[in-house]
Structure formats: structure tokens, C-alpha cells
Chains A and B, each alone.
Chain A
Amino acid sequence: MFRILSILFTLLVAGPAFGQAVVTTDNVRAELISEAATVKPGEPFWVALRQTMKPHWHTYWKNPGDAGQATDIKWTLPAGATAEAIVWPVPAVIDVGGVINYGFSDEAMLLVRITPPAGPATGTLRLEAAAEWLVCNDVCIPEEGKFALDLPVGPAAKPATAATLALFDKARRQVPTDSPWPARFGVAKAAGDKTGDPTLIVEAKGLKPETVRDVYFFPAEWGFVAHSPKHAAVVTAEGIRVPLKKGDAKAAVPQTLAGVLVLTEKTADGNQRQAFNVSAKFDPAFVPAPMPLAALATDEQLTLFEALLFALVGGLILNLMPCVFPVLAMKAAAFARLAGTAPGEIRRDGLAYTAGVLASFGAMAAIVLAIRASVGEVSWGFQFQSPVFSLLVAYLFFTVGLNLSGLFEISGRFTGMGQGLVGRGGTTGAFFTGVLAVIVATPCTAPFMAAALGFALSQPGPKTVAVLLAMGLGLALPYLVLSLTPALQRRLPRPGLWMDRLRQLLAFPMYASAIWMVWVLVQQTGADGVLYALGGMVLIGFAIWLLRFGPAETLAGWLRRGTAIASIALALAAVVKIEEGSATASSSPSGGASTGVSFDGWERFSRARMTEAVAAGKPVFVDFTAAWCITCLVNERVALETPATRRAFEQTGTVKLKGDWTNRDPEISALLKELGRAGVPLYLFWPPGADRPKILPQVLTEAAIVSELSSIQQAKR
């Protein structure tokens, strides 16, 4: 009896060791699967360890982050066979109470390339794998499994079932693509001889900032870069700039920084998540500017009190921004006028002005909350990188400068209702001066406002409102204090000629600021930006000069007005042109060969050529792309330009047409419109003899195209 039991026991223990493809633990179902049903000697094929986790449990990436441990596979293979390292899918950031882990929830396919020995084409290939993984939800459990897979060896490789192939196809889509752009990183200076925080630049030139968001960089290793919950990346003319935090390793700055960059691209038909393997070279010449606000902020958590204090100081600083100068001048004039009147009136004036500022900031808070409620997470930084914004601000600086110089006066008639109210004087006037202060201050201080908004946005509703109101209070504070303190009022200089002189002097910083904005614009658009910006300024100056002749209700008066409006319209038309132009500039080959649209192996799309090839009964594949479209680029890399796809195109004699929509080519625009598409990527496939094209999905895979092409081959037979 005892012997039988012991034999049974031995069988139970020995049985599961290497003999199965599926291991089910308490929290994970793990399976070793192969993409090949039959393998050919010497011909590499792919297998995967497929982990399916219980809900809320996760396993780890190669760099597990602050805690955890990566899955490890040890192979036992027949002589001559080799297994390569795991090809990891893109991980997710798993934030456990501030401890940042990188891993996989739900499911992970860990791909491994196996090369069988180059032996006779008979028998079986036995793959044995001992895998260890850590699986965690709130608690962590190390688990392991021993797997075995017997694959028949034959003279020709045969693929696994369609369901298995689909799994591999999906897994490949989750593997990062090699970055099409070069990358570099620099390190900020820090106190003493220490190194500061690194900043990564992926030189993806010519992207559209407003279409790229949720950028995150997963460092491949522990040490040099800290694992952060988020990265506040910005898209600039030089590429994607990702400020990082330095990690805990004490070692010197490495020569390369490897990792995975993920981002979401907003395309015409929805959001695409993209991931790239990045290997950034250390660039000693690139020393990122230290970030004063960040330094203040990152050491400790901002309490609400501190946030309010920062916002108040921020508001005070807004008073120093050149845009607010004209309002300052108005305010100064108002005070001068009120000097000597009853202190009560001055106090009322100060309070009304403050109320106006606060009401505007309150309105802004309401807008912010409304946007957040409708869109979810809001990212502000990006829109301020737009060339249109730069141009409009340059115009604004210039116009305000002209005003300060005295070329024209802000009168009720000229700027309409708002100014009319301001001009009214008294309490109402003071209130609307406050509103005006915020309106003029906002655009030219946008980057600064972005800081406040960025913070405010990440807060719960009431905090958002409080922070913005504190900023408003800061803006109004100097006047409020002045109006409430008669002792200070007495020290104000008397009104006089100096006020006009001061005002005229203030025009020069405005002109200088306008020049700076034009310079920024040129960075974004290229040299053409100068033409449009300066041309627009001349038109604005012309319009103002025309309108100065006064309100003659004569034909000549109307003519002048009409011409002025036409000039302004023309100046604004430059804005539209700039938006289109920015795409043109970015497609210029300045960023190296990889940034422009490549026509290697493709014909240039034209409608005539497409119609002709279709009529000739040839299969036609059309790729509509643009230099700024990341998804297009990824599709090319993973699906359109792979050896297998190229071969399939060649074998089927497919006519390959590529349409470059970087410059919004009108012929392509018209076609997109016909097909009900708002933009690229768009892929059309005309099987031979078809009367309408097939619209392929926006995210392509090699398998999808190859199967599309092979279906026509089969139809031919």
C-alpha cells in the first residue's frame, strides 16, 4: 500500500515537469505557443509565452520600475538550437500609491525567436522552458512554470492555426517599432559637481504639436532615469522634448540612454497609440535649462496654501508682462485723475477694478472646468507652440506698440463695445478696465498662464477655481493696495507730461517683443514666416493710418474704412497661410532623409495614374501620407516596407502609388473628401477589376496586407 502511494506520489511530482504547454497558477494562465506548426531545420520561427492574468493582477516589463521583477525564461533546447532574448510588448505605467511599476495587466505575449538546428528534416523539435514571473496586485507572488512544446520538423515550415497567427499578429503590434528619428539627451547642471535632470530629445522634426499627446518615456534600465508617473513632454521645432528626472544610480552619465517612447497621435479618424524603441546618444553640448518652477515644486508636494501663494505671486508678475503696459498706463492715468478726489471714490475704483479682474479669471476657471468635464484630461502646453498663435501675438504686440507710440488712441468707436464701457469712467469703467487687463494680459503671457493652468487642471474643481482666483488677485493687488492706502496715494507723482513720455517709451519693449515673436514664428515655419508677419504688420499699420482720418460719413470715409477692413482681412489671411505653410516648411529635407516622405519604390499619386492603372486591370495600392503623420510612418515601417510585403507587392504586380498630403495637396484633399475622410493615413486597395477601392484600416499589419494581396493571387488561379 505504502509503495503504491509512493509510486503515485512520484508520478504526480514528476509528471508536470516539462510535458505541457499550459501552466495554470493561482493568478496566471501561462501558455507556450508557437507560430509554426511544423518547423524547417535552420529556419528561425517565433514562439511566445502568453500570460493571462486574473483581473487586477500584473506581471512586469524588462525594467520592472520601482518594484517588482521581470519574467525570466530559461530554455533547454536540443544541441544546435538557439533562443533569443524576449521581445517585450509596450508596458503600462502601474502607479501603486506613488510607487511606479512598469508591467502588463490582463495579458502579455512575450515573443522569443527560436532557431532550430540545421539537421535532417524529420523528427520533432522539443522546446523546454522554465519560466519565473512575479505577479502582483496588492500583494506579490512569485510563480513559475515548466513548459514543453514538441514541434514536428519537416522539409517546409507550416504555420499554426489562424487563431494562433492572429495572436502573434496582435502581439507584434504591441511591440515598439524602432524609432524612425535619431535621439539625443543632455543633462542639466546642478549644484556642486552633481549632474542634474536629463532631458531627452527625439528629433521628430515637423510634427504637429496639437496632434501629439500623452508622451511617456520608459527607461530600459534602472538607475540613470527615475520612474516618473508622467512626463510633461512638449513638441517643438526640434522634435519631442521629454524632461526626465534623474534616477538614483551614482554612476557617471551613460553614453546612451535606451528605452521606449510612447505617444498618442490624434489622426483624422481617432487616436493612435504609438511606441518606439529609442536609443539616445549623450550630447554634452546640450545642457537643458534648469527649471526654476520645477525646482521649487518637485522637492515637496505643493499644498493648497503653497499653490495659492505661487498663483498670487504669478499674478503679481503678470503686471510686468509687456501686454499689460497699456492697461497700466490707463490705470495710472485714472489714478492721476482721481488724485485729490474723495478717498472713497479711489477705493471704489480699486475695488471695481479688482472685481473686474476676478470676474474674468472666474470665467476662465469656468471654461477650464467645462473643457475638463467634456474632454477629460486637458493638455495646454501644446497649443502655445502653434505658429498661428505666434503670429497673432506678434500682431498684438505690434498693435499695442503703435498705440503706446501714440499713432492711434483707443477710443470707443475704434475697438467697439468693450472699450466703450471702459471709456465710461466711474465704477463701471474701472470694472471693465479689469476685464480688459485680463484679456490683454492673457495672450501675451500664455506660456506663463499654461503653468498655472497646468497645475490648476490637475486639481479637483474647487482647487482649480481657487488657484485661478488667487492669480487674478495677484494681478489686481498693486492697484487694490494703492487704492486702499491713502498714504501711498500721496506719494504718487503728479500727472503731467512725463506720463506721455513714459507711455511712448513703453512702446519700444512692445516692438522688441513683436520681433521676438516673429523670431519664434520663423523657428516654426521657416523663412516665409518673416514675409507673412512683416507684411501683415504693414497692412495693420496702413489700416490704422486710414482709420485715423476720423468719422467722415462721406463716400471717401466709407471707402477708407472698406480699405482698412480689407487690409486687416489680408493680414489675417496670412494667419491661414501660415498654418498651411508650417507643414510645407516641416517637410523640407532639413531634418534628414527620414523626416520627409520617401518615394523609394513608389510612384507619385495622381488621379489620372490611378484611374489608368485600375482600368488596365492591375491591382493598385494607394498610400496617402504626410511628413508630420507618425501613424503613417509607423505603418510604413511595420507593414508597407517589410521584405514580405515588398515581395507580395512584386509578385502580384501591384501598382504602388503614394500621395504626399504634407502640403495639403488639393487633388488629394478632394479625394479624401469624396471618401468622407478628414485626413491621413488613408490606404486604398483596388483588387484587379474592382469598380471601387477597398479602404484598409488605419493601422496596418504586414499580415493584413500580405493576405489582402494573396487573396487576389488565389482569385487569379
Chain B
Amino acid sequence: MSNFTVHRRSLILGSAAVAMVPAVAWPSSDLGKAAPAFSATDSNGKAWSLAELKGKVVVLETTNHDCPYVRKHYISTNMQTQQREAAAKGVVWLTVASSATGEQGHVTAAQANELTRSRNASPAGVLLDPQSKIARAYGATVTPHMYIIDAAGMLVYKGGIDSIPSSDVADIAKATQYVRVALDQVLGGKQVADSSTRPYGCTLKYPRTST
């Protein structure tokens, strides 16, 4: 009898949960598990797939060049500096332009290349993600939303670029640069201490028609 009770109770709870299904259908990437696979073309027409990057540490950086929080890290050259540091250590840094077609931050290949040139940026590639598929797979909510995938393809970091959520360039010097710290730990074969931090920035511009 008591089993029956529990069963029915869990059904009540279940019913409550099912009621919210359509709304909470937001995938979220799990730390310590295989990072969601993706394949995409970059602004130079080069095809990338996460599967082929096994053996290398990968950084994903969602971007929207008109977002004040993205601009903060490019105007200060914080982002470019970290891209170069990463490249020097053999890390593949991919900037992901996930703004949907028609939304702020959406770029064509030519525009992406122009931004890389004018900002003197140095990613391994700028992935064009006009349907926000990569962002969706990782559950990215903001720009910039940062992810680190280790050589085994496991997600080892997700969150903000640094510890002070603001659009003020002056805060960068005072902040802990989470991604830099985490990359050093990954490359040093250590566990990432702060592996999930609060992402901050502008709302990622997903396609409007989808829910």
C-alpha cells in the first residue's frame, strides 16, 4: 500500500513537471561530460568539427560585436591578448558568431573577417552560426559566454570571461580572468577549480521563430 502511495505521489509531482515541459526545454551542457558535438564553417570557408579537434584543448567564445560586454573585452584588447596566449600554447580558440540572421551581431563571412582585421583579433577561426545551433547545443545565454573543452573532448569550463560582470573596461584589471586561469589548469593537467562561473553579457540573439 505504501508503495502505491509513493507511486501516486510521484505522479502528482510528475504531472507538475510535465506541465512545464515545453517551456524548460533548454539544453544545458554538463561539466565533466563529453562536450556537445558540432560542425560548422568558419569565415574563411574552412570546415570545423569538434570530433576532429580531439587531442587539442578548445575554447569557444560566443560573440556579438555590437554587444557592449563583447566590446568591453575587445576595446581593452583583453580578448585578443587571451586569444594569442592560447594559440601560443596550442589551444584552438574558436569565436562563435551565433546571432541569428537579422539580429544584432549577425555577420557575413566578409564582415567577420573585417572585424577580425580591424580589431586585430587572433582566433583560430570565427564560426558562422546563423541558426544559433552551436549556442543552443551548449545552452549559451549571453555574449560572451565561454567554454573550455579538454583534449579528451570533455567540457571542463563554462561561464563568464572574468569575475566582474560589468561593461566597464576599468574593471578588467581588477577581475579574475577565469578563462585564463582555467586554461592554465587544464594545460597543467589539473582540475579546473572554478569550472562553472556566472556568465554575464547581452542576451544571446537566438532566432525569434523558435522557442
Residues of A at the B interface (CB closer than 8 Å) are: 66-69, 96-99, 101, 132, 134, 136, 138-142, 222-223, 226, 228-234, 243, 245, 248-250, 288-294, 297-302, 379-381, 384, 447-448, 450-452, 454-455, 457-459, 512-513, 515-516, 519
Contacts and interface: CB of A to CB of B under 8 A. Distances in A.
27 contacts: A67-B201, A67-B203, A68-B202, A97-B208, A97-B211, A98-B25, A99-B142, A132-B168, A142-B68, A222-B198, A232-B16, A243-B16, A288-B13, A291-B13, A291-B14, A300-B27, A381-B16, A447-B12, A451-B18, A454-B18, A457-B19, A458-B19, A458-B22, A458-B23, A513-B4, A515-B1, A516-B5
Give the interface size class of chain B: 35 or more
A289 B15 contact: no
Interface stretch (B48-56, B114-122, B159-167, B176-184): B159-167
B66 A139 contact: yes
A572 to B, nearest CB: 25
Contacts of A136: 202-203
A516 B2 CA distance: 9
A450 B12 contact: yes
Given A136-B202, A248-B28, A455 B16 contact: no
Nearest to A384: B12
B15 A381 contact: yes
Contacts of B166: 69, 132
Contacts of A513: 4
A141 B167 CA distance: 10
Given A67-B201, A298-B21, A516 B1 contact: yes
Interface of B: 1, 4-6, 8-28, 31, 66-69, 103-104, 141-142, 158-159, 165-168, 194-196, 198-208, 210-211
10 closest A-B pairs by beta carbon, nearest first, are A294-B17, A454-B19, A301-B25, A293-B14, A451-B15, A232-B16, A66-B141, A97-B206, A450-B15, A67-B203
Contact of B195 (A132, A250, A289): A250
Nearest to B66: A139
A111 to B, nearest CB: 23
B11 A451 contact: yes
A249 B16 contact: no
B22 A302 contact: yes
Contacts of B202: 67-68, 136, 139-140
A68 B203 contact: yes
Given A297-B21, A381-B16, A451-B18, 4 more contacts: A68-B202, A222-B198, A294-B14, A455-B19
Query: Which of A66, A138, A228, A288 has the most B CB atoms < 10 Å from its CB?
Result: A66
Nearest to A454: B19
Contacts of A69: 165-167, 200
B205 to A, nearest CB: 7
Contacts of B25: 98, 298, 300-302
Contact of B203 (A99, A231, A249, A384): A99
A454 B24 contact: no
Main DSSP-derived SS at the B contact region: loop
Nearest to A232: B16
B20 A232 contact: yes
A140 B67 contact: yes
A289 B8 CA distance: 12
A235 to B, nearest CB: 11
Nearest to B140: A99
A68 B67 CA distance: 11
Contacts of A234: 12, 16
Contacts of B20: 228-232
A651 to B, nearest CB: 49
A455 B203 contact: no
Contact of B10 (A141, A289, A302): A289
Contacts of A139: 66-67, 104, 202
Given A234-B12, A458-B22, A515-B1, A248 B211 contact: no
A597 to B, nearest CB: 30
A495 B33 CA distance: 57
Given A66-B141, A67-B142, A301-B25, A243 B1 contact: no
Contact of B17 (A96, A243, A249): A243
Given A243-B17, A300-B25, A381 B12 contact: yes
Contacts of A97: 203, 205-208, 210-211
B19 A134 contact: no
B159 to A, nearest CB: 7
B18 A66 contact: no
A591 B23 CA distance: 34
Contacts of A68: 202-203
Given A138-B104, A291-B10, A448-B11, A98 B206 contact: yes
Query: Which of A223, A232, A515 has the most B CB atoms < 10 Å from its CB?
Result: A232
A215 to B, nearest CB: 11
A163 B11 CA distance: 53
B182 to A, nearest CB: 12
Nearest to B100: A97
B24 A451 contact: no
Nearest to B72: A142
Nearest to A519: B5
